[in-house]
Amino acid sequence: MQEAKSKFSAFSDTGRFMSAVCYAEKNPDSKIDEDCTDVVHYSGGYFIQLMDSGIFKVNESFSSRSLDEAETYLFKEIINKKMNDS
């Protein structure tokens, strides 16, 4: 359990806020929603969109008003599954 928390913390610490415009310029292949104002980008090319409504959007399946919840979902449901499938 402690190892999982450590991995999550290491992942979460890589998150950096950037404007959606700047992120899209640097990552032209990424799909950013029109109502996205900012992006939190992480090591490995992962990102969470901050919408103009204040919602953090991970993907079409999950969004939250809490960045912590969005990061936890991203890490557990997407990254961990990819690591375990490898």
Torsion of CA 58, 78, 46, 84, to 10 degrees: 170
Question: What's the confidence (pLDDT) of residue 77?
Answer: 82
Place of tokens 């799909």: 31
pLDDT at 27 over 90: yes
- Residue 64's H or E segment, with its range, is strand 63-64
Contacts of 35 (CB under 8 A, 6+ apart): 51, 52, 53
pTM reported for the whole predicted model: 0.87
pLDDT digits (tens, 9 = 90+) for 57-67: 999 999 999 99
pLDDT at 84 over 80: no
pLDDT at 20 over 70: yes
Between 81 and 28, whose confidence is greater? Answer: 28
Question: What's the confidence (pLDDT) of residue 46?
Answer: 93
